[in-house]
Each structure stands twice: as structure tokens, then as C-alpha cells.
């Protein structure tokens, strides 16, 4: 099929670029080891391999030889009182092995691979999964950084809620106490050119689109399916990190990581609905600065969709999403972040006014998931973090609240470092509010969780 051939060709390009960089520089490294004079350089290494410690060896462990090869990882065992699939499965045991390979070669080349294998055990069934989160090679040469392979590209300066972060997907069904572990890489080539000390221009090409992983929608009399697309995505960002203010401008052209619902027909009394990932263009900007004991951040993005007139309920309308936050450091390892967010939908039309009841239901559901049920949505998110006992015990209370529809979530979490190798975490995820809000709709996912991690 032409589509598959095109996708395979693009994948081949990214992997080929990664392989070429790796092969070329590994070969050059071997060549240097073979007593061929290295390229003249007056730059000292900023990595420790060239500075082996001659001091007393402390806490020497069986896994130090693995670490020397660049291999680290963790064994995890956890319990969740509910999954994140909005179904009725509960009391889930999760066991997983996470591995990370991080190695530097000569000539500014490095390689990074991270993946995991996991088993989720339910009372009456179990489920295995193994995935590669990232696998790329990175070349740093002069003012250039080039990264090729499966990689996470994370943009934005506000806390966890990032309007400009729309290049690489998240897996919202992943059972992990650490929220940021739900990011997954995509095959991409990313190049950055640095200007002076603080500025850089980054261009990214993502040949194969991958959307967020969300819970399957299961409703009586409805059948939902997803359309896979292989479109390329492009993005560019000018970033300034340094001086008094950090800021950036970005642009992305590609596919929406979240879906729009579209009724495609019916079959034997069942309504067929497609989850489409439509084309979007996003213009974004962010800024962060410190004044006294406060960190201020603002991030906003205007997203153009294929329904700029706002007349087609199958496609979300263009929108402007803004997050403004303040973080205060109270000292004694106590800090708090409060963020206000606002989503304005352009050319808004209320899907609840659609006369056909099936269409009204489906497009209201779609608008709820996309935060487009109202023209203007307001909300707050926040996080309080505290560390005790020389950072042995860490506590966090995170939450968010939608003023429009009154949905809310609360997530307290405690982590205790039993030793350098062993960490225990326990917490609770609570969702509440009206079911026609993004947060209220997740009520079935509220869960107690606990996990023990052994690092090696």
C-alpha cells in the first residue's frame, strides 16, 4: 500500500540518519583508539569519564559494572486500586523492569535508549507490554546539536500544563506514580543551532505522527475506532535560556495529539464513530523569570484547525490556550505553584444546540474532551512540594479545578527513600465534579496507588 510504503520510507530515513551518525562516529572513535592522532581540540571534556576518581571507593555495588557500560535501570512493583481506562477493573498489581542505556562516544556523539517491560495483573486476567520510550543518537558539534531517532521533544515553561507542548505524545493510561513518565518519544530528526551564549533555533521533523494514548471509549450502541495517519509534522522554535528572562516562540504544523469524534455511519443499530486526529497549526510563546522569591511563567498558544469558521462539529474550532503561573519558594524545602488557565474557542457554536440527539451526544462528548463545550473555560492548577529529613522524605499535593463545569482533581503523594537503591511511593488520585468536564469524566479512574522501586 502506498501509505505504508511512505511511512516505512520515512522511518527508514530517521533510523538511517541515526545509524549513520552512530556508525560514523563509533568508527572514528575506534580509529582514535587505534593510535591515529585525534582531531585537535582545546576543549576539555565536560563529562567525568576523563576524570576517573582515585579516591576511596564507597558503597561499591554489584551493578557498578553495568553502570560503567552506561546501563542503569529499575525494578518496580506496585499496586493500583483502579486503572486509568475508565472501566471497572480494580486491584491491579503492576510489575515492571525499566532499562536505560546512556553512552558517550568520541567526537561529541552520544546514544540513549530507554524502555520497559511491564506486566499488569488483574484478578481474572493479566496483560503484558514492552515499549521503547526513546532510542536516539545525539551529535554535538560546534554550535550544532543534531538528534536522530525516537525522542521526546518537550516544550513549554509553565508547570505540567503546556499549550506549546504538542509534538510528542503522552500515554494517559500508564500506571506510574511519576506523572512525567507518561511521555513517549516519536521518530524524529531535530537540529538546533546555537547563537551566542543563550539563544538557539531548533527545527524538528517528525515523519510519522503518533497520538496520545487514551482510554478506549466504551458506550452501549456506539462503536469507536481510530484512524491512523502517517502525516509528517514540522516544528520550529527560537529559544532564549539565560540572562534575566527565559522565553521562546514556536510554530508547529502537523496533527492534533488529541482526537475529534466524527459519526461515520451506522451498522445494525450501532452508531459508528471515528476518532480523528486532524491537522493543526500552532503558534506558541512562553516566558519565565524570577523576581525575589517568586518564579513567574506564562505560556500561550493559538491553534488553527481545519475548521477555522467553526461550522463543522466534526473538527474542533481554533482556540487560544493561556496558562499563567507563579511559584513561591517559602524556604525550608517548601514551595508552591499556582497557575490560572484560560481556553478561548474561536467562532464558538454550542454542540448542545444540535437538533439530532445522536449527533448532539457525540459532538458534546467530543467538545467535553477537548475543553470546547464552552466558549471560555477557566481553571486553576496548583502544586505544593515539601522535602524533609535531608530529602529522604518528599511530599507533594497537586490539584486542578475547572470553574466551568466544576470538575476537579486532587493528587497527594509521598515518597520515602529507604536507601539510595530503594524508594517507596504511595498516593491517591481523586477526580470529581460534573461528568461533562474533562476531570469529572475520569471519576472511574480515582485510585490509591503504591510502588516500590529498586534502582541499579
* Sheet containing 260-267, strands listed edge to edge, beginning at the edge strand earlier in sequence: 222-226, 270-276, 260-267
DSSP helix/strand/coil, 370: coil
Asked if 6 is part of the footprint of other proteins (rule: CB under 8 A), the reply reads no
The residue among 167 and 362 lying less far from other proteins, judged by its C-beta, is 167
Non-local (6+) Cβ contacts of 226 within 8 A are: 211, 259, 274, 275, 277
Do the Cβ atoms of 408 and 433 come closer than 8 Å? yes
C-alpha neighbours within 13 Å on the C-beta side of residue 70 = 13
Instruction: Check residue 154 for interaction with other proteins (CB under 8 A).
Output: yes
Interface with other proteins includes 1 (CB under 8 A)?
no
Grid coordinates representing 334 are 517548601
Cβ atoms within 10 Å, residue 228 = 11
Q: Distance between CA 233 and CA 252 in Å, rounded?
A: 7
CB of 329 to other proteins, least distance (A): 4
68 makes contact with other proteins (CB under 8 A): no
Residue of 168, 173, 208, 172 whose CA lies nearest to 184: 168
Contact between 384 and 352 (Cβ < 8 Å): no
Which of the ranges 120-128, 174-182, 261-269, 273-281 carries the binding residues for other proteins, by CB under 8 A? Answer: 174-182
- Closer to other proteins by Cβ: residue 22 or 402: 22
- Show contacts with other proteins in window 106-145 (CB under 8 A): 110, 112, 138, 140, 145
Q: Answer whether 440's CB lies under 8 Å from 434's CB.
A: yes
Place of cell 523569570: 289
In terms of DSSP H, where are the helices of 251-340? none
- The grid coordinates listed for 207 are 515523519
CA-to-CA distance for 410 and 401, rounded, in angstroms? 9
Selected from 40, 52, 265, 268, the binder of other proteins by CB under 8 A is 52
Q: Considering only residues 84 through 113, tell me which ones interact with other proteins, judged by CB under 8 A.
A: 102, 110, 112
Of these, 327, 374, 429, 451, which contacts other proteins (CB under 8 A)?
327
**Angle at Cα 214 formed by Cα 130 and Cα 269, nearest 5°?**
120
Determine the interface stretch with other proteins among 12-20, 146-154, 211-219, 361-369 (rule: CB under 8 A). Answer: 146-154
Take residue 79 and report the three cell numbers written for it. Answer: 499496586
- For other proteins, the binding residue among 181, 281, 306, 436 (CB under 8 A) is 181
Per CB under 8 A, the segment of 2-10, 121-129, 382-390, 397-405 that binds other proteins is 382-390
Q: Which letter, b or e, does each residue of 380-408 get, where b requires 16 or more Cβ atoms within 10 Å of its Cβ?
A: ebbbbbbbeeeeeebbbbbbbbbebbebb
User: Rounded distance, CA 319 to CA 346, Å?
Assistant: 6
Of 109 and 262, CB closest to other proteins: 109
Tell me, residue by residue from 12 to 51, as one string, x for binding to other proteins by CB under 8 A and - for no binding: ------------------------------xxxxxxx--x
Residues in 210-269 that interact with other proteins by CB under 8 A:
241-242, 246
Which span sits near other proteins by CB under 8 A: 15-23, 370-378, 435-443, 448-456? 448-456
Instruction: Out of 81, 173, 264, 289, name the contact with other proteins by CB under 8 A.
Output: 289
Stretch that binds other proteins, among 26-34, 152-160, 275-283, 357-365 (CB under 8 A): 152-160
Q: Candidates 3-11, 293-301, 308-316, 343-351 — which segment interacts with other proteins by CB under 8 A?
A: 293-301
Chain residues in the site for other proteins (CB under 8 A): 42-48, 51-56, 58-59, 67, 72-74, 102, 110, 112, 138, 140, 145, 152-154, 156-157, 178, 180-181, 183, 192, 194, 197-198, 200, 241-242, 246, 288-290, 292-295, 327-329, 331-333, 335, 387, 389-392, 417, 419-421, 423, 453, 455-456
Amino acid at each position: 500500500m502506498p501509505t505504508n510504503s511512505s511511512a516505512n520510507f520515512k522511518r527508514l530515513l530517521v533510523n538511517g540518519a541515526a545509524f549513520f551518525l552512530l556508525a560514523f562516529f563509533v568508527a572514528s572513535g575506534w580509529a582514535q583508539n587505534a593510535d591515529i592522532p585525534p582531531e585537535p581540540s582545546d576543549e576539555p571534556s565536560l563529562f567525568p569519564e576523563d576524570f576517573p576518581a582515585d579516591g576511596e571507593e564507597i558503597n561499591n555495588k554489584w551493578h557498578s559494572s553495568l553502570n560503567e557500560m552506561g546501563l542503569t535501570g529499575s525494578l518496580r512493583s506496585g499496586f493500583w486500586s483502579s486503572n486509568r481506562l475508565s472501566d471497572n477493573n480494580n486491584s491491579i498489581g503492576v510489575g515492571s523492569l525499566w532499562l536505560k542505556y546512556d553512552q558517550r562516544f568520541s567526537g561529541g556523539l552520544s546514544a540513549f535508549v530507554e524502555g520497559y517491560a511491564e506486566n499488569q495483573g488483574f484478578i481474572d486476567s493479566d496483560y503484558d507490554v514492552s515499549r521503547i520510550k526513546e532510542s536516539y543518537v545525539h551529535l554535538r558539534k560546534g554550535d550544532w546539536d543534531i538528534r536522530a531517532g525516537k525522542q521526546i521533544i518537550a516544550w513549554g515553561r509553565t508547570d505540567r500544563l503546556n499549550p506549546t507542548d504538542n509534538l510528542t505524545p503522552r500515554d494517559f493510561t500508564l500506571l506510574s506514580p511519576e506523572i512525567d513518565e507518561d511521555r513517549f518519544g516519536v521518530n524524529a530528526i531535530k537540529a538546533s543551532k546555537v547563537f551566542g551564549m543563550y539563544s538557539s533555533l531548533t527545527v524538528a521533523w517528525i515523519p510519522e505522527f503518533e497520538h496520545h494514548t487514551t482510554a478506549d471509549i466504551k458506550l452501549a450502541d456506539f462503536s469507536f475506532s481510530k484512524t491512523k495517519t502517517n502525516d509528517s509534522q514540522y516544528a520550529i522554535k527560537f529559544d532564549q535560556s539565560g540572562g534575566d528572562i527565559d522565553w521562546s516562540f514556536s510554530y508547529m504544523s502537523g496533527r492534533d495529539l488529541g482526537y475529534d469524534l466524527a459519526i461515520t455511519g451506522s451498522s445494525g443499530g450501532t452508531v459508528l464513530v471515528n476518532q480523528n486526529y486532524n491537522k493543526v497549526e500552532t503558534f506558541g510563546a512562553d516566558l519565565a523569570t524570577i523576581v525575589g522569591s517568586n518564579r513567574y511563567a506564562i505560556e500561550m498558544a493559538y491553534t488553527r484547525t481545519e475548521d477555522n469558521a467553526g461550522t463543522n462539529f466534526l473538527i474542533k474550532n481554533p482556540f487560544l490556550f493561556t496558562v499563567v503561573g507563579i511559584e513561591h519558594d517559602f524556604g525550608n524545602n517548601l514551595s508552591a505553584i499556582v497557575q490560572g488557565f484560560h481556553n478561548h474557542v474561536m467562532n464558538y457554536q454550542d454542540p448542545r444546540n444540535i437538533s439530532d440527539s445522536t449527533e448532539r451526544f457525540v459532538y458534546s462528548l467530543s467538545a467535553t474532551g477537548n475543553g470546547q463545550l464552552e466558549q471560555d473555560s477557566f481553571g486553576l492548577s496548583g502544586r505544593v512540594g515539601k522535602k524533609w529529613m535531608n530529602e529522604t522524605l518528599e511530599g507533594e499535593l497537586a490539584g486542578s479545578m475547572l470553574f466551568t463545569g466544576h470538575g476537579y482533581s486532587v493528587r497527594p503523594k509521598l515518597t520515602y527513600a529507604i536507601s539510595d537503591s530503594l524508594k517507596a511511593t504511595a498516593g491517591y488520585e481523586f477526580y470529581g465534579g460534573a461528568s461533562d468536564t474533562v476531570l469529572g469524566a475520569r471519576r472511574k479512574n480515582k485510585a490509591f496507588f503504591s510502588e516500590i522501586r529498586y534502582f541499579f
